[in-house]
Amino acid sequence: RQSPKLMRLADAIYEHEKGKPSPYKCKLEQDESCPNPLLLESNDEEEKAEWIAKRVLEVKQKYGFVPSIAVFVADKQDAAELEVLLKDDGRLENNGIDVKDCSSGDNLSAQDMLRIFPLDKVKGMEFEVAFFHNIDKALAGSSTDLMRRYLYVGISRATSHLAATFTEEDGNEDIINYFNLEVKNWKV
């Protein structure tokens, strides 16, 4: 179900956690045009919202439509705050893409929408594109192992595109190292 690049990321996390190679195999052919998992490290929330909006527009450009897209945040408050930031940015709205805080589980099947979910609401959901917003803040005080597990869960929610934002703090290097920081976008 996941692209080969997402499976490689999942395999690396699995091997680190379990101490043995992953038994799962990607059924899709290796295709270097598959998007790389992306990461932005910043303390500026507006910059992160702008970065997410730009990545969503790259996906729309690639497909010619808006596939299922979700952003996972720590809680309802973070969902509401990110919704405001993305709407204030205006890029998505100006391109016919609605932004919706789905903390209550509504608008799950609407088209041309970026949905924002607290982490505790994503069990069993699948999306073409998944973002983790402030994964380190969502799991503040948690071990890097727990962040790694949540990242692994996020990979299993995304089919082709995965991105994450982090704050610029020490202690995130273990997770950040899973990403190729030289790749900055999903441009076609």
User: Across residues 111-131, what is the average pLDDT?
Assistant: 85
Query: Tokens 């709205």 correspond to what residue?
Result: 93
Query: pLDDT tens, 41-80?
Result: 899 999 999 999 999 999 999 999 999 999 998 889 999 9
Q: HEC states along the chain?
A: CCCHHHHHHHHHHHHHHHCCCCCCCCCCCCCCCCCCCEEEECCCHHHHHHHHHHHHHHHHHHHCCCCCEEEEECCHHHHHHHHHHHHHHCHHHHCCCEEEECCCCCCCCCCCEEEEEEHHHCCCCCEEEEEECCHHHHCCCCCHHHHHHHHHHHHHHEEEEEEEEECCCCCCHHHHCCCCCCCCCCCC
CA 89 – CA 91 distance, rounded (Å): 6
Quickly state the pLDDT bin for 108 (edges 50, 70, 90).
low
Query: Tokens 């099947």 correspond to what residue?
Result: 109
pTM of the prediction?
A: 0.84
Q: So what's the pLDDT on residue 77? A: 94
Instruction: Select from 35, 77, 45, 9 the least CA-distant residue to 168.
Output: 45
Q: And the tokens for 55? A: 């990545």
Q: In what order do the strands lie in the sheet with 38-41?
A: 38-41, 158-166, 127-132, 69-73, 113-118, 98-101
